[in-house]
Structure 1
Amino acid sequence: MVWQEDVYVIAMVTNLSEGGTIKCAKYWPDNTGDKIKIDIFGIQLDSEKTYSSFLIHQLQLTNLKTKASRQITHLQYTSWPDHGTPDPLELLMYHQYVTKAMRKHPENKLLVHCSAGIGRTGTFIALDALYRHGIKEGSINIVEYVHTMREDRMNIIQNLDQYKFLYRALYESFRATIHPFSKEKFIDEVKSVLSSDNTVNLSNLRIQFKELDSLKPVFQENEKSSGFENMTLNMTGSVLPADRIRIILSSHVKGRGTYYNAAPVSTFTMRDCVITGQYPVPGAAVDLIRLLVDQECSTLISTSPLSEVPSSIEWFYPSPRGNMIFQYRVQIDEGVKITDYVIKSTIRIKASAASDWQDVTLYEMNTWHTNDKLPLEYRPILDVVSLLHLNENVDAENKIAVLSRDGSSRCGEFCAVYNAIQQLQQDQEVDMFTIVRQLQRRRPEMISVFEEFMFSCQTVSQFIEQNPDEVNINYNHALVGENIYANA
């Protein structure tokens, strides 16, 4: 069918299996460079890119009889929950990439499929068609369009939740547009804000931040009930996680509850693999240890020197014998100054009932002092990002925990820079607007003032200028303690 109908782009909106049920047979090879043969067709996987909620495969489809070949862009959305609906912003980002792929083949048909071909497929087709119609004409009629679709395919858009989701997704799509910049354009935008002879109020980045400020969600008190019920465990009462998003501690410790002021966020390439949390309040160090164990964190990032954090004395002090914190033995080695701005340590944790130790690499930004609203240098964040890219495997089983005073400030700047650099490496462009918007969906307090937004942009701009020929990290900063250079 793909060959016959001259299809060049496939939007697949299902996983191969969900809930133990096979949803779709895999019709492309497993590994880059591999080939499979299906009847008279050969299919080769030329490349694969991983994003937080979807994959992009470049497939070479060859008719073995005629020897003719065709390049197929295959985009698989992987975050549509079984018996549910996805996050609107995540699906809109996926839709943006599908649209970008279709621009190369505007005269050809787009193939959309899920499992049955009516539920998710219909929802995505309606989103695509109505969005394009709305941008062109200024108005849409969802009821009429869905009725027209059902004349061609019965029961398309299968249930009420999918129909309601279509409204939400279209609402979000018309509220704001995507703002990707090339490397060169992004640097120019940052310089235009910093230039004294430019009208700052008219800069694109300032306009973007004002738009972000109007779009970020506001969680009501009843949506943060756990935070209010555990107010003594919060560093501040103004930054509380939403109940439906917060991390729930699962390991049992006598006298302790399930609450910790922490929330998951995604990187550009991996879903929910970063935990943004506050430092534990005095007397609650065991909750931080539980967080690291429960969430299988392999990396911990402190955005402040731990010597300036009052509660750190309860859990962070190097000792060869270790320290017992409730049922956990915690050992910490002597820190090594990896760069002028970062100290590296290893935390080893072992529950009394466990047979193995859990090792957590700690990166401590030792120059971003607690009284500094923003770092005096860009290097602390860039150094840690470089160390993560070179030394750490970040995925669902090796998560990163990032700590600050309230779990929002500093964490937001770090995550924004980290995600932007990943986007640069993946797509050779950066969209700080969408990156920050997605972070604020989990933590609305992140990057709450323009200075924080600009610092994040300036840090990314510095990274690009230090890597003019390629955005892949080629780390040659003066290092102490170990060699972490990699031509990567």
Structure 2
Amino acid sequence: PKEVWLQLLHTSSRPLAHAQLQEAASDTTTLNAEYQKIPPNFVDAADLDVPGHMMKDRYKTILPNPESRVILKNPEEELGPSGYINANYIRGYKGAPRAYIATQGPMLHTVGDFWDMVWQERSSIIVMVTKLKENNEKCEPYWPQPRHKTEEVKEEDEDQEGEKNGRRQEEEGEMRQFGRFLMKVKNSQERDGFIITDLEIQLLSERRAVRHYWFSSWPDHHVPECIVSLLRLVEDVEMHRKSLKSPPSSEPITGPVPGSGAVIIHCSAGIGRTGCFVASSIGCQQLRETGQVDILETVCQLRLDRGGMIQTTEQYQFLYATLAQYSLQLQHQQNQNNPEDQVGLQLQNLQLQNNN
């Protein structure tokens, strides 16, 4: 019965200190059993009272939980069924409301809805954890591509029309329209495993800054090859998020202003890789602040907000492995007598973050 598994999602817990986490991460049999007991909390189409929503769903069985779904409130144009977008607000560390938004990869006809959501929620960070194509389309290109991405996009879409290719190859600074919005690439940089693109997005006379992270080395239903790259992405996003909440400067504002809304994360369906990223981010915060982590409770919390978060046993095991690795790094850092002697970008980033 639904009441029973909802109770399970609300009460399941397994807090682990550093040493316990290392042990748990290596016990894949127990992790598999633990994962199988977590109710998925998928949404039945009958429970989603939004006529015509199917045309805006990338996958007909992956639907947003009604209680936490994002509703678009755009008075300027007809948005179709009830301002519908396949997206949910997701609680963060310590249950912070609307810390994240988990959503599907935009489709050709929902790109405008996606940017309406970014604008409405005053989001300044988008994290994309999928390729554009993996055998078939996983996500429509919905943002202006920086110049150095041209070749990769060409390779991914070589079987599509040249005209479609052409519109994806943007010169930095060139304005492009997506939905109601004008946007341009302000800056882009490649990191180990992901690309950061700083965008300026404009509606009428208002301009805002949005940072787009693209982690493309994560295959659907599977796990990325490198834990370190994912941890660097989690760190970078968290540091940027904190920088947006810093006290306002007395200097006059001349450029586009970033908002402090939810961090938007998407893969293709918006539950597997997206769930792993959010759970990793929350788990890292738990370890930093309390010295322990409760992965089971975190995944249950995610599934209460959006059904099916963390799609496979493999992803669940990877989540444990990722946080076990982060735990080791934290302990190593704490054991360093002289922070100046730290080596490796990972530990330097952690030190900077803790000093902020």
TM-score (norm 1): 0.56
In the comparison of the two structures, how many residue pairs are matched?
300
The correspondence of residues 66-465 of structure 1 with structure 2, limited to 5 A, is 172=7, 176-193=11-28, 200=29, 203=30, 205-213=31-39, 216-226=40-50, 229-257=52-80, 258-269=83-94, 270-306=96-132, 312-317=140-145, 318-319=170-171, 320-337=173-190, 339-352=191-204, 355-369=205-219, 373-393=222-242, 397-465=260-328
In the TM superposition, residue 181 of structure 1 has moved relative to its aligned partner by 0.9
1:175 and 1:441, CA in 2 relative to 1: closer, same or farther beyond 3 A?
A: closer
In the TM superposition, residue 461 of structure 1 has moved relative to its aligned partner by 0.8
Aligned partner of 1:40 in structure 2 is none
1:284 and 1:356, CA in 2 relative to 1: closer, same or farther beyond 3 A?
A: same
Aligned residues of 2:12 and 2:300 also touching (Cα < 8 A): no
1:486 is the counterpart of 2:335: no
In the TM superposition, residue 427 of structure 1 has moved relative to its aligned partner by 1.2
In the TM superposition, residue 306 of structure 1 has moved relative to its aligned partner by 4.8
C-alpha separation in 2, matches of 1:423 and 1:246:
26
In the TM superposition, residue 456 of structure 1 has moved relative to its aligned partner by 0.7
1:262 and 1:477, CA in 2 relative to 1: closer, same or farther beyond 3 A?
A: farther
Aligned residues of 1:306 and 1:312 also touching (Cα < 8 A): yes
C-alpha separation in 2, matches of 1:218 and 1:174:
12
Amino acid at match of 2:210: V
C-alpha separation in 2, matches of 1:383 and 1:252:
39
Write out per-residue CA displacement over residues 190-241 of structure 1, whole angstroms, 9 at most, x where no aligned residue.
1233xxxxxx3xx2x333223314xx43433322232x62212111111011
The correspondence of residues 32-71 of structure 1 with structure 2, limited to 5 A, is none
Write out per-residue CA displacement over residues 398-441 of structure 1, whole angstroms, 9 at most, x where no aligned residue.
32000110111211111111111111112111111100001011
Percent identity over the alignment? Answer: 18
Q: Find the structure with the greater CA-based Rg.
A: 1
C-alpha separation in 2, matches of 1:211 and 1:314:
37
Aligned residues of 2:90 and 2:102 also touching (Cα < 8 A): yes
C-alpha separation in 1, matches of 2:10 and 2:104:
32
In the TM superposition, residue 487 of structure 1 has moved relative to its aligned partner by 5.8
Write out per-residue CA displacement over residues 275-313 of structure 1, whole angstroms, 9 at most, x where no aligned residue.
001111113211111111011111000102457767544
C-alpha separation in 1, matches of 2:228 and 2:276:
13
Amino acid at match of 1:191: S
Amino acid at match of 1:265: I
Amino acid at match of 2:209: D
Amino acid at match of 2:323: V
Aligned residues of 1:331 and 1:348 also touching (Cα < 8 A): yes
Aligned residues of 1:303 and 1:365 also touching (Cα < 8 A): yes
Q: Give the superposed CA RMSD.
A: 3.0
Aligned residues of 1:464 and 1:471 also touching (Cα < 8 A): no
Aligned residues of 1:344 and 1:363 also touching (Cα < 8 A): yes
TM-score (norm 2): 0.75
Write out per-residue CA displacement over residues 334-367 of structure 1, whole angstroms, 9 at most, x where no aligned residue.
5211x21111111211112xx3311111111132
C-alpha separation in 1, matches of 2:132 and 2:194:
12
Aligned residues of 1:367 and 1:380 also touching (Cα < 8 A): no
1:292 and 1:177, CA in 2 relative to 1: closer, same or farther beyond 3 A?
A: closer
Give SS of 1:486's match.
helix
1:273 and 1:232, CA in 2 relative to 1: closer, same or farther beyond 3 A?
A: same
C-alpha separation in 1, matches of 2:279 and 2:129:
14
In the TM superposition, residue 177 of structure 1 has moved relative to its aligned partner by 4.6
1:342 and 1:444, CA in 2 relative to 1: closer, same or farther beyond 3 A?
A: same
Aligned residues of 2:222 and 2:314 also touching (Cα < 8 A): no
Aligned residues of 1:178 and 1:431 also touching (Cα < 8 A): yes
C-alpha separation in 2, matches of 1:217 and 1:174:
9
Give SS of 1:361's match.
strand
Give SS of 2:93's match.
coil
In the TM superposition, residue 185 of structure 1 has moved relative to its aligned partner by 0.6
Aligned residues of 1:476 and 1:485 also touching (Cα < 8 A): no
1:467 to 326, 330, 344: 330
C-alpha separation in 2, matches of 1:173 and 1:372:
25
Higher relative contact order (CA 8 A, sep 6+): 2
Amino acid at match of 2:43: F
462-471 or 256-265: which moved more? Answer: 462-471
In the TM superposition, residue 485 of structure 1 has moved relative to its aligned partner by 6.8
Give SS of 1:415's match.
helix
In the TM superposition, residue 386 of structure 1 has moved relative to its aligned partner by 0.9
